[in-house]
Amino acid sequence: MTKPDRRRCAWCGASFDVAGGTGRPPRFCRRSHRQRAYESRRLAESRGLGDDDILLARSSYEELRDLLYRIESALQDIDGDLADGADSADYRQALWHLYRTAAGVRSVSMEPRAIGTAPSVT
């Protein structure tokens, strides 16, 4: 018996198991996410967005931006703290500082959004 592959959903980024078998391996963790991706592609096409463009809730963007700022600040703090002859306790403390700061990533939801409706063509 083989161990299932782990993949990331192309829509939400969640990790999911893929059982071996024939055919293309799934790209989405749920059918609803495959449908949302389809709707999003259609909406993007109708609005002239490129393949690399996504729609994301402003609150999610701001939450991620703020988290990245906090992580960057923590790294700057650590660089300064460890620059002058740090011992193992200093490294341990720096690691925990960075870990506590980066742990906020667990609460960030980055699910893309397929919002609105495609404009009607007359």
Confidence at residue 117, expressed as pLDDT on a 0 to 100 scale: 44
- Segment 53-69, tens digit of pLDDT: 777 778 888 888 999 99
- Segment 78-97, tens digit of pLDDT: 998 888 788 889 999 999 99
Chain length of the chain: 122
How far apart are the C-alpha atoms of 110 and 95, rounded to whole Å? 26
Q: Is residue 64 classed as helix, strand or coil in its secondary structure?
A: helix
CA distances for 56 relative to 59, 73, 99, 101, angstroms: 8, 25, 26, 23
Amino acid at 99: Y
Is the pLDDT confidence value at 118 over 80?
no
Q: Is residue 107 classed as helix, strand or coil in its secondary structure?
A: helix
How far apart are the C-alpha atoms of 89 and 40, rounded to whole Å? 49
Amino acid at 30: R
Q: Is residue 103 classed as helix, strand or coil in its secondary structure?
A: helix
- Segment 13-41, tens digit of pLDDT: 889 998 877 888 899 999 999 998 888 88
